Structure 1
Amino acid sequence: MDTTGDATKGLRLFPFRGLRYVPERVGSLAAVTSPPYDVVVRPDGLHHLESADPHNIVRLILPQDGSPGARNRQAARTLAEWLAEGVLATDPEPALYVYEQRGNGVLQRGLIGVLELSPAADRVVLPHEEVMDDVVADRAALMRATGAHLEPLLLTYVGDGTVSGAAAVVERAARRPPLLTTTTEDGLRHRLWAVTDPAEQAGAAAGLLPRQALIADGHHRWATYLRLKREQGVPGPWDFGLVFLVDTARYPLQVRAIHRVLRRLAPADALAALDGRFRVREVAGPLPRALGALAAASEEGNAYLLAGDGTYRLVDRADSALLARTVPAGRPEAWRTLDATVLHETLLTRVWHVPDTAEDIAYLHDPAAAVEQAERSGGTAVLMHPVREAVVRDLARQGVTMPRKSTSFGPKPATGLVMRRVGAG
């Protein structure tokens, strides 16, 4: 049962005055949106978004300047300019926002609001991946400089299967004319509704109160929220974080893998180090066919697809003695047998000796992009098979975190449709 056992320590969601683009002041809403900051990883993707519209949100979430401090000051200036010019405006009254994504066989609906960062936050919102301190520090500096939450993190919870409470509010709103509609270039249609009726807001909040949420996307932003709250020391607007909550009993998310590119490890060297430690077989392309072979092998144990030299090689059947020596004991079996665990603890650390730094490893959501980057740089792409959501949730409930970038839940909310100025109500 997806409850905390104490309703006073559950999900406390509140309305807020959303910060949104003024449609008449931009080319189109689709042209000013972006994927979450950590999905925009390639320079060509960043440049594409910057050129889509001079007011694209990427100029705020990934400002370009010399030093980190200069970048954050640039984002703060840009936000102030857009507010002064009327490109962005704060909604006149507090609302919970119902957000829908539809297309490509996907339908996802949920609530955007501000979540109270309670003292029991670590038992109410469950992380499942580790975070990097430097990324949290970077996001915290940007949030401080702009005084804003520029993109909601994605949380999931399991409702009771009835159309009541938050689910009822979501479904009623979806029958009304939307506040905005836009279709992004990935084919997804986005619709947003503002729920301003206090009775509906209270009904949604009451339905969420006994629930417990899993972080599906945004671990670093969640850690940043908690860090900024601790810094304040007194009650205030930083006690709340911008979130998008989806009931996966009604709208199951898709779970995809996040792939690695080992920038400084050539495929020949990677393969040579595997000799006698894993089984290695060449598999036929194209990429979708090779990924099919990876999926089949993953049914029987840890498996990876290596690329970067024009061929695909399936890596599986690890030496059991090697795993016994390299994978830490004293953790749940589900964690010890994760592909990401074996990759980081055994392959990267003990076999390939690749440090987990930005200079050595790139994390990409798109397998084709990972292969392309590896071939271009002379590195090795390590393609992964996704973990089941049930495994992720079970480990999170045990307080066990997975290696970072183990999963990619989606679809992710588009950045730029609704934001929050901290302190704006």
Structure 2
Amino acid sequence: MAIVKPFKAVRATRDKVALVSSKSYEIYTPAEIGAKLDFNPYTFLHVINPGYKYHKQDVTGEQRFKLVHNRYLEFKENEVFKQDKAPAYYIYQKRTPTDNFCGIIAATSVEDYHNNVIKKHEDTLRERELLFENYLKNTGFNAEPVLLTYPDNEVINSIIKKYQNQRAEYEFSTSDKDLHFLWVVSDNNDIEIISNAFEQVNTLYIADGHHRSTSSCLLAQNLAKNNPTHTGTEDYNFFMSYLLSESQLKIYEFNRFIRDLNGLTPEELLIELDAHFRIENRGQELYKPKEKHHFSMYLNGEFYALYLRKSIYNFTDCLSELDAYILYTTVLQPILGIDDIRNASKIVYSQNKSDGLELKTKVDSGEFKVSFGMLPTNISELKTIVDAGLMMPPKTTYIEPKLRSALTIYEF
């Protein structure tokens, strides 16, 4: 039973939302951030780059977090942001040139996270958990929701369709040619229908935002300890999420790029791989896998198809059937010497939404010696692994939609 509830969002006025909301900070290049800060006084990037006001870009740690809070207060004082007077759900639709996503922004429960009603598929880094918890503690808000997914639900779909037939509170386009809509669900009857529908959902799965959710839960634990009147209903006991049905998620794979061959020549690498794979040299023909347990490799100017020798490989559980895990246990760790797959000095990942040519171009540039590609993981694989109490390797899934910051803001 999932606890999902409405909240009073802080959000931009209708006339400014297109200027205020931004992509996630990490997506922008330094040049793009500079241009937006120079020419858009309303962008949320001013809030999360607070040193810009004082021509000081190297503000770090708690000083930066406190300045973020101050810039946020200024946006509220200047009435760029206003808080809704009553709790609401927010139906958000993102329409791209190729896809259409529509779900519900809501407050989800820390208790559900601890009780495994909200399940994660990746381990988090303690250092990043603590950093973001400190950020939340000092700023007092979260501007980017966690992406959660759930089985398709006709009741929830009917409410979403009802509002899609009405005028949206927000309707705006962005420079990446995406179209954004937001509807405010403040009707008490509709709120009750949505809440009751989610009460029938046994599990919510984190699709994106593992560190955000874990840090929110860590903050809630610490605030509860320091609150002698803690009841469990305080705003800090919840975190903002975007709930999207499973059928709407788009999952892409990450390509792997390796900087060296661990002392092997290309010919020696092929001999080592032969123990685990049937290998076909495809020459200059771009090869992309079409089945599970098939891999593409670009090495020394040529594409190869690698087909797992299933009679030799030992399938022990659902994780062992995952292609990213197979590649690690048969190639990356034993042959190429990559024990820590988070170690960017040896391995780099890149999401693959293109035609796969990146496998070739990055190796041909000389930066990497070999690259690997595979089929994307599907939602069924993800759920099976999570429900078995297992964790997927890092950079197994690149999941869309990617959400904008400051479309709705959750205060605690």
TM-score (structure 1 length as normaliser): 0.79
Q: 1:400 to 1:226 in 2, by over 3 A?
A: same
Offset at residue 76 of structure 1 (A) = 2.5
Q: Is the contact made by 2:351 and 2:398 (CA closer than 8 Å) also made in structure 1?
A: yes
Post-superposition shift, 1:341? 1.2
Match of 2:272 among 277, 282, 303: 277
Matched, 1:182 2:172: yes
Superposed displacement of residue 351, structure 1: 2.3
What are the Cα deviations for residues 47-89 of structure 1, in whole angstroms up to 9, with x where unaligned?
5665673443345557763534444334223222322232222
Distance 1:273 1:41 in 2: 40
Deviating more after overlay: 194-203 vs 357-366: 357-366
- CA shift in 2, pair 1:230/1:377, >3 Å: farther
1:85 corresponds to: 78
Q: Would you say the 8 A contact 1:115–1:243 is kept in 2?
A: yes
Q: How large is the Cα RMSD of the aligned pairs?
A: 3.3
Does residue 350 in structure 1 map to residue 334 in structure 2? yes
The separation in 1 between residues aligned to 2:176 and 2:38, in whole angstroms, is 17
Please say if residues 257 and 385 of structure 1, whose CA atoms lie closer than 8 Å, have aligned partners that are also in contact.
Answer: yes
Question: Is residue 35–residue 415 contact of structure 1 (8 Å, CA) maintained in 2?
Answer: yes
Find the residue that maps to 1:156 and give its secondary structure: strand
Query: In the alignment, what sits opposite 1:100?
Result: 93
Give unpaired runs (5+ residues) of structure 1. 1-9
Residue of structure 2 equivalent to 1:412: 402
Hey, what's the Cα distance between the residues in 1 that align with 2:38 and 2:368? 29
Shift, 1:271, TM fit: 4.3
Identity within the alignment, %: 20
Give the AA of the match of 1:247. S
Aligned to 1:33: 21
Paired residues, number: 387
Counterpart in the other structure of 1:11: 2
Q: Tell me what 1:294 maps to.
A: 288
Change (3 A) 1:266 1:47: farther
Q: 1:120 to 1:341 in 2, by over 3 A?
A: same
1:214 maps to: 205
- Quick check: 380-389 or 90-99, which moved more? 380-389
Distance in 2 between residues matched to 1:21 and 1:306, nearest whole Å:
47
> Equivalents in 2 of 1:31, 1:223: separation in Å?
30
Normalized against structure 2, the TM-score is what? Answer: 0.81
Match in the other structure for 1:341 = 325
User: Per-residue displacement from partner, 1:243-285 (whole Å, max 9, x unpaired)?
Assistant: 011123xx522111133444x5479968466332224735536
Q: Distance in 2 between matches of 1:57 and 1:260?
A: 33
In structure 2, the partner of 1:6 is none
| Gap regions ≥5 residues in structure 2 | 51-56, 274-278
Which one of the candidate residues 247, 250, 256 is aligned to 1:254?
Answer: 250
One-letter identity of the residue aligned with 1:281: N
2:381 equivalent among 391, 395, 404:
391
Q: Which amino acid aligns with 2:157?
A: A
Kept in 2: contact 1:41–1:364 (CA 8 A):
no
Amino acid of the structure 2 residue aligned with 1:364 = S
Encode CA deviations 1:270-310: one digit per residue, 9 max, x unaligned. Answer: 8466332224735536xxxx3xx2233xx152414447x8x
> Whose Rg is larger?
2
Q: What is the aligned counterpart of 2:221 among 230, 242, 260? A: 230
Please tell me the residue identity of whatever aligns with 1:202.
Answer: E
Q: Do the aligned residues in 2 keep the contact of 1:259 with 1:367 (CA within 8 Å)?
A: no
Distance 1:62 1:376 in 2: 34
Amino acid at match of 2:211: H
